[in-house]
Structure 1
Amino acid sequence: MKFLKGVVEEMKLVTWPTFKENRHDTGTVIITSVLFGIFFGLVDLALSSAMTWFVKL
């Protein structure tokens, strides 16, 4: 029980982000994920094309 009281006290000290901060951070994560997805998709396409060309030699 002492542990749970400690947890509750610590949670009261936490500075929670505002809605605006959460929205900004979520947008950043989504945009970064999309950009990385596009980048790795293009790298995969390039490597696949290179391997196909190499095998046909």
Structure 2
Amino acid sequence: MGFLARLGASFKRTGVFFRDSWQELKKVRWPSRKEMVSYTIVVLVTVTMVAIFFYILDIIFSTVVKWITG
């Protein structure tokens, strides 16, 4: 198979990939605006709680290390 034939086959496969991807995206159930807002709030609250948790752990561990090396 020559270079140009492989190049043409590659472009054909790329086109098939994008066409198939578009067909799959049509099957997706997209969330409504209300659902998206609630999901966003849940994510922000969760990230905030995890950040506070690790902040508290950091304070505790740094205090213990200062106390040990102290």
Structure 2 unmatched ranges of 5 or more = 1-14
Show structure 1 runs of 4+ deviating over 3 A. Answer: none
TM-score, normalised with respect to structure 2: 0.74
**Corresponding position of 2:22:** 8
**Is residue 22 from structure 1 mapped to residue 36 from structure 2 by the alignment?**
yes
**Corresponding position of 2:58:** 44
Structure 2 counterpart of 1:50, which letter?
Answer: V
Structure 1 unmatched ranges of 5 or more = none
Larger Rg: 2
